[in-house]
Amino acid sequence: MVVAYDGAGYSGWQIQPSHKTVQGELERVLHELTGEKERIHCSGRTDAGVHAREQVTHFDLGRPVVLKKLLIGFNALLEKDVRVLSIRKARTDFHARFDAQGKEYRYFVWNDDILPPFLRHYRAHVRAPLNVKAMNSAAKRLVGRHDFAAFSANPHYERDGTVRHVRSLRVSRRGRDITIVARGDGFLYKMVRSLAGFLIRVGVGELKPEAAAEILGSKVRTARVPTAAPQGLFLWRVLYRPIRTA
Q: Which residues are catalytic?
A: 47
Which distant-in-sequence residues (6+ apart) come within 8 Å of 54 by Cβ? 2, 3, 4, 85, 235, 236, 237, 238
